[in-house]
Amino acid sequence: MPNRRSTTLSRADEAYALLRQRITRCELAPGTAVTARELADDLGLGLTPVREALTQLHRERLVVTMPRRGYRVAPVTATGVRDCLEVWAVVRPRIVALAVTRASAEAARRICALMDDGLDTWADTPTVHAGLENRSRAWSLITAEAGNGLLADVYRLLDGGLLRLRAVLPDGTPLPALPAPAWAELFATRDAERATRRAAAEIEAFRAAVRPLLARLEDAGPGVDEPDGAGAGSLTDAAWAALRRRIIDGRLPPGARLTERALSAELGLGITPVREALARLDHERLVLTLPRTGYVVTDTTPQDVLDTVQVWAYLAPTLVGLAVRHATPAEARRIVALMTAPADDPVTLTENRSQGWRLVAQAGRNVVLGDVVGLVDGALSRLFARLLTGPASPVRAAPLDWARLFAERDQERARTDADRYAAALDEVAHWAVDEVARRA
């Protein structure tokens, strides 16, 4: 069955790589207005691959869609920088700890070479720009060597925002990076605990260094916080919800081929909302776009499940802690209702839980973290649906007591409870994977 690793290079991939490079290098400056036709002419590529590339860049929050007017390169805002660095502070130490224990000797040498730039402060010079891009390549390799494909996707979401910090950093700002000799030592000793401490300390120091800058940056303008380009209740939302449910309940099984025209006729919706819904499902790893031929429903492999639960364990304490801190009373009531609502069938129960977690992410007021929840939610929903319809697990992940958490508003206790829940979910996932192997 197809999975997210079975991608092929296409004209859309080429357009995406070229446009992403121009945006992250700030050759297309923040706030620049563009149209798909102008970009297609400039790149010498067709309109369709450029539009597909812009859809992906929109999902990475690098461009903003302006209905009937084109696109705008997303501004670098205080909210966007804070959100990006908050998630990076969570996953960066974990990525480093995994990579130093798992990287091959050749990969370790390449990482050290890319990090051997002698840069410790920012300056707007060609040498520093080149060093920053080498570090981006190094981090892509580090996440690959960490051995968790979903973590690599999470880093991809963050990388564009991290690279575009160059547009606003004042000269002399300390850069968060281990020098090449420190990397070499970590790879030689394979000391995960020390790597975690070093990586955490450096990103926290960088966050402290840019805090005065954020106070001077403009905050997000209209449209920046809506990755799907549409509000709740839109035709795109309707198409996405209908297709997602069909995938989770198995009516669209792994391997099923899909076309926009057939789905448009089946759902009674236009081609455009169906296309946008499929792009969203591709982002969530539930379908795979096949250039020039349509789409195929992906499979969630045992390794996908374990990767997803590992990332969830990293992020759940921050996710729950932020929601407990920031949720309005109305949001808290809705979350409690969704997380505790009874249901007659496993798919409805799974969908309620999925909506609940998405609202938790929204209530936490970190849109980047919300994007990551979108990445993990598909695999988790498939796992929950299978657990509810298969043999009973001897291991249980006791649900969080959301009513108590919101009544207490104790952020540290919420983080502790979420950490415990994520650890139990990890045990359940390993049991489920072992059960699949036994039945095979």
d(CA 375, CA 284): 5
pLDDT in tens, 208-228: 988 888 888 766 444 444 444
pLDDT classification of 230: cutoffs 50, 70, 90: very low
Q: Which of 353, 358, 355 is nearest to 397 (CA)?
A: 353
SS3 category, 168: coil
| 53-59: long-range pairs with CB below 8 Å, 24+ | 53/12, 53/13, 53/15, 53/16, 53/19, 53/20, 54/19, 55/276, 55/279, 56/12, 56/16, 56/279, 56/283, 57/16, 57/19, 57/20, 57/23, 58/227, 58/229, 59/227, 59/279, 59/280, 59/283, 59/371
Is it the case that residue 3 has pLDDT exceeding 70? Answer: no
Is it the case that residue 297 has pLDDT exceeding 90? Answer: yes
Residue 285 is predicted with a pLDDT of: 87
> CA dihedral defined by 170, 171, 176, 180, rounded to 10 degrees?
160
- In this prediction, residues 178-188 reach a mean pLDDT of 88
Other CB atoms within 10 A of residue 389 CB? 13
d(CA 323, CA 168): 29
Vertex 161: Cα angle to 321 and 186 (nearest 5): 75
CATH class of 1-75: mainly alpha
* Both structure tokens of 323: 């929601």
> Cβ distance 20 to 161 under 8 Å?
no
Average pLDDT, the chain: 88
**Beta-strand relationship, 63-66 and 33-34:** unpaired
Q: What is the CATH architecture of 302-439?
A: Up-down Bundle (1.20)
- In this prediction, residues 130-152 reach a mean pLDDT of 93
pLDDT classification of 366: cutoffs 50, 70, 90: very high
SS3 category, 117: coil
DSSP state of 62: S
Residue 22 is predicted with a pLDDT of: 93
- In this prediction, residues 400-415 reach a mean pLDDT of 96
Residue 390 is predicted with a pLDDT of: 67
User: What topology is assigned to 78-216 in CATH?
Assistant: Four Helix Bundle (Hemerythrin (Met), subunit A) (1.20.120)
Vertex 213: Cα angle to 212 and 218 (nearest 5): 120
Q: What element of type H or E holds 287?
A: strand 287-290
Q: Which of 134, 193, 158 is nearest to 366 (CA)?
A: 158
DSSP output for 223-280: TTT-TTSS-TT-HHHHHHHHHHHHHHTTSS-TT-EE-HHHHHHHHT--HHHHHHHHHH
pTM (whole model) above 0.75: yes
Is it the case that residue 187 has pLDDT exceeding 90? Answer: yes
Vertex 308: Cα angle to 15 and 415 (nearest 5): 115
> CA dihedral defined by 120, 122, 123, 126, rounded to 10 degrees?
80
Counting every residue written for the chain, the total comes to 440
Q: What element of type H or E holds 73?
A: strand 70-73
* Both structure tokens of 118: 């002698």
Give the burial string for 360-374 (b: 16+ CB within 10 Å, else e).
Answer: bbbbbbbbbbbbbbb
Residue 392 is predicted with a pLDDT of: 66
Residue 233 is predicted with a pLDDT of: 54
Query: Where in the chain do CATH 1.10.10.10 domains reside?
Result: 1-75, 233-299
Task: Return the residue matching tokens 């979401």.
Answer: 157
pLDDT higher for 21 or 227? 21
* Both structure tokens of 387: 């657990």
Is it the case that residue 309 has pLDDT exceeding 80? Answer: yes
Q: Does domain 233-299 have CATH number 1.10.10.10?
A: yes
pLDDT in tens, 319-339: 999 999 999 999 999 999 999
- In this prediction, residues 136-165 reach a mean pLDDT of 92
pLDDT classification of 9: cutoffs 50, 70, 90: low
Residue 58 is predicted with a pLDDT of: 87
> Cβ distance 46 to 186 under 8 Å?
no
